Amino acid sequence: MGKADFLSPKAISNRIKSKGLQKLRWYCQMCQKQCRDENGFKCHCMSESHQRQLLLASENPTKFMDFFSNEFKSEFLELLRRRFGTKRVHNNIVYNEYISHREHIHMNSTQWETLTDFTKWLGREGLCKVDETPKGWYIQYIDRDPETIRRQEEQARKKKQEMDDEERSARFIEEQVRRGQGGKAPDTEPVYTELKRESEEEKVAFNLSVPVAGSSKSSSALGASALTVAASSVKRKETSSGSDSRSEKKKKSALEEIIEMEEKKKKKQSLASRTDYWLQPDIVVKIITKKLGEKYHKKKAVVMEVRDRYGAVVKMIDSGDKLKLDQNHLETVIPAPGKRVLILNGPHRDTEALLEGIDEKNFSATLTLDSGPQKGDRVEVAYEDFSKLA
What is residue 24's predicted lDDT score, i.e. its pLDDT? 59
C-alpha 104/C-alpha 79 separation (Å) is 12
> Tens digit of pLDDT for each residue in 28-40?
767 767 776 777 7
State the pTM of this model: 0.34
In the predicted structure, residue 69 carries a pLDDT above the cut 70: yes
Burial class of residue 261, CB neighbours in 10 A (0-12, 13-18, 19+): exposed
Question: DSSP string spanning 104-140?
Answer: PPPGGGSS-SSHHHHHHHHHHHTSEEEEEETTEEEEE
| 314 pLDDT higher than 80 | yes
**C-alpha dihedral sign at 263, 264, 265, 268:** positive
CA 235 – CA 225 distance, rounded (Å): 15
Please compute the mean of the pLDDT values over residues 67-95 and round it to a whole number: 88
- Could you tell me which residue, 134 or 187, shows the higher pLDDT? 134
Dist CA 90 CA 279 (whole Å): 59
Residue in 328, 344, 233, 318 with CA at minimum distance from that of residue 289:
328
H helix intervals, 145-293: 146-180, 217-273
Kindly list the strands in the beta sheet with 322-326, ordered across the sheet, starting from the edge strand earlier in the chain. Answer: 322-326, 311-316, 300-307, 284-287, 330-332
Give the three-state DSSP class for 191: coil
| pLDDT tens digits along 249-299 | 545 577 787 788 877 777 666 655 688 888 999 999 999 988 888 888 899
pLDDT digits (tens, 9 = 90+) for 369-381: 988 788 888 989 9
Please give the Cα distance from 106 to 104 (Å, whole number): 6
pLDDT at site 282: 92
Element (H, E) at 101: none
pLDDT digits (tens, 9 = 90+) for 132-148: 998 899 999 888 777 77
pLDDT at residue 216 is higher than 50: no
Regarding predicted confidence, which is higher, 271 or 84? Answer: 84
Q: What is the spatial distance between Cα 122 and Cα 120, in angstroms, rounded to a whole number? A: 5
For residue 121, pLDDT over 60 is answered with yes
Query: What domains sit in the chain, N to C, each tagged with a CATH number?
Result: 60-141 (1.10.10.2030), 276-333 (2.30.30.140), 335-390 (2.30.30.30)
Instruction: Indicate left, alpha or beta for 233 from its phi (over 0: left) and psi (-120 to 50: alpha).
Output: alpha
328 SS3 class: helix
With beta carbons less than 8 A apart as the criterion, state whether 326 and 306 touch.
no
